[in-house]
Amino acid sequence: MNNKVNYFITAIGTDSGKTLAAAILCKALGADYWKPVQAGLPRDADTIKMLMPGCKIHPETYLLTTPASPHAAAKIDGVEIDLNKFTIPTTNNSLVIEGAGGCLVPLNDRDFIIDIPKKLKLPIVLVANLYLGSINHTLLTINYLKQHDLDVKGIIINGKSNPESERIILKHSDYHVIWHIKEEVEINEEVVARYAEKIRQKI
């Protein structure tokens, strides 16, 4: 892709598939990767390195030791996350930015993960997985994004298909599905490359 673009990947919750989606988008766009806040190990950046060898990875603004909500992990480390410290890394490539958890995961007592793309004026890709209860979680997330007039490019559905859940979510969101990442026996470079080829013209 010739045009430089930046995307912020958020999700309806933890373990929805943001890192896999980020790897696929990095491959599709020839993009760099940045995770502004990492709480605990293993680092999502290490997963990107494994799935996308050669991808340039920018260092976290906050690398925290405890696998917990960023505000809690920061407290344990004796730091307070400052929204003003987040600045887009300098690069000549497109950039895929991965959030932590869902939209309203707190950074501190005032700010949430979704305030990062708000501050940096980044378009958003929403990742949703269709477990029991996900319709409620997805529509609540979508309602928040719409109420705050955030630029959402579309939804990546991750995991087991549920056509009726997908239909009702799209009916009430007016968003489109960028792609559906199916359940895979193994996640590796080849799988990422296969999806990247399919998604390249959709984003």
CA–CA dist 62, 82 (Å, integer): 10
Q: Are strands 95-98 and 32-34 parallel, antiparallel or unpaired?
A: parallel
List the catalytic residue out of 4, 18, 27, 35: 35
Q: Tokens at residue 67, please?
A: 């696998």
Q: Is 121 a catalytic residue?
A: no
User: First and final CA of the chain: distance in angstroms?
Assistant: 10
Contacts 24+ apart (CB under 8 A), 104-107: 104/144, 105/14, 105/69, 105/70, 106/69, 106/70, 106/71, 107/37, 107/70, 107/71, 107/74, 107/81, 107/83
* Most distant CA atoms of the chain, gap in Å: 46
**Which tokens go with 46?**
């290490």
- Which residue is it, tokens 């405890």? 66
Q: Cite the active site residues.
A: 35
